[in-house]
Amino acid sequence: MRANQKVKEMPKNTTSRSWGITPVVQEILSKYESDSPGVKANIARILMHGKLAGTGKMVILPVDQGFEHGPARSFAVNPDAYDPHYHYQLAVDSGCNAYAAPLGSLEAGADTFAGAIPLILKINSSNSLVSVKDQSVNGSVKDALRLGCAAIGFTVYPGSEFMLEQQEEIRALSEEAKSYGIATVMWSYVRGPKISKEGETAIDTIAYGAHMAALLGAHIIKVKLPTDHLEQPEAKKVYEEKKIPIKTQAERVRHIMQCSFNNRRLVVFSGGATKDEDSVFEDARAIYEGGGNGSIIGRNCFQRPRDESIAMLDKIMDIYLGKDA
């Protein structure tokens, strides 16, 4: 280039649309102020994939129940689901934003489905063969990098006697993941010796768990849908005194989003145990109305026949698109 030759300037009106990222997703990414371009690119990979691409809404297929509950309890109702390729294909064909699974499951289809869908490596798991309800770390950030994953997934148990150790584990793993440009998805499930069974889905404890996940640096937070039960006496006083709206499911979803840095963090809600389709759709409508970012739904999908699963996921996505609210 000659000394007096000017560098050609980019057009001043260039917008995010010019490279395929919608304004909605660009706005979401702007809320992750400390993160590198690599991390934001991987969050965008998830948000820009599948039927809900670009809307800021997500449906993620998680299949870690074989670890949690054992193979027969998880897959015997639909024997095709013993095959990890089945879940990959279900996530791809249904237009999910991402597929989340433990190390071995992802490795079993890594080559066949390379690049077909964003992956989340579920890096820790519990199992039902031990009495201790803790999580073992079964994968690494380098495994996630090797498999081309967009994110790692990690479960924490707020209220558990193992919580402090889990916090330290995810702090280190998330720091490493972020250094490689990989995002962090945090399953935040309230449980422990001082938490009643009803309290595991109470609005105050779920809100606390979501807020704790945000404080721990999660990019995407997964929690259960809360009930209107109030577990903690001191929290109950505040909810009643300040008249925090929690009567309807949509109001409770809205409050969870408020507690997740006032909508600055992405939150998806668990599908829970297998239930009838109408209940699944009602959950999705409440999430949509309450401003949640979507669903992470496993057993309610893969424990049904494939055609039923795809039809159900299609309707859930239509709800998040505002077509069937």
pLDDT at residue number 205: 98
Q: What is the CATH number of the domain that holds 209?
A: 3.20.20.70
pLDDT at residue number 271: 79
Residue 9 lies in a domain: no
Residue 160 lies in a domain: yes
What angle, 0 to 180 degrees and rounded to 10, lies between the N-to-C axes of helices 249-259 and 203-215? Answer: 30
151: left (phi over 0), alpha (psi -120 to 50) or beta: beta
Q: Is 142 a catalytic residue?
A: no
Domain housing 107: 50-320
Task: Report the b/e string of 295-318 with b at 16+ CB within 10 A.
Answer: bbbbbbbbbbebeebbebbeebbb
Residue 17 lies in a domain: no
Residue 152 lies in a domain: yes
pLDDT at residue number 133: 80
Residue 171 lies in a domain: yes
- Set 40, 57, 122, 222: catalytic member: 222
Residue 36 lies in a domain: no
Number of structural domains in the chain = 1
- Rounded-to-integer distance, Cα 49 and Cα 92, Å: 10
- Rounded-to-integer distance, Cα 200 and Cα 72, Å: 26
Digit-by-digit pLDDT tens for the chain (325 residues) are: 444 555 445 444 444 444 689 999 999 999 999 999 999 999 999 999 999 999 999 999 999 988 988 999 999 999 999 999 999 999 999 999 999 999 999 999 999 999 999 999 999 998 888 888 889 999 999 999 999 999 999 999 999 999 999 999 999 999 999 999 999 999 999 999 999 999 999 999 999 999 999 999 999 999 999 999 999 999 999 999 999 999 999 999 999 999 999 999 999 999 777 789 999 999 999 999 999 999 999 999 999 999 999 999 999 999 999 997 5
Residue 245 lies in a domain: yes
Residue 31 lies in a domain: no
- Rounded-to-integer distance, Cα 274 and Cα 271, Å: 8
pLDDT at residue number 5: 52
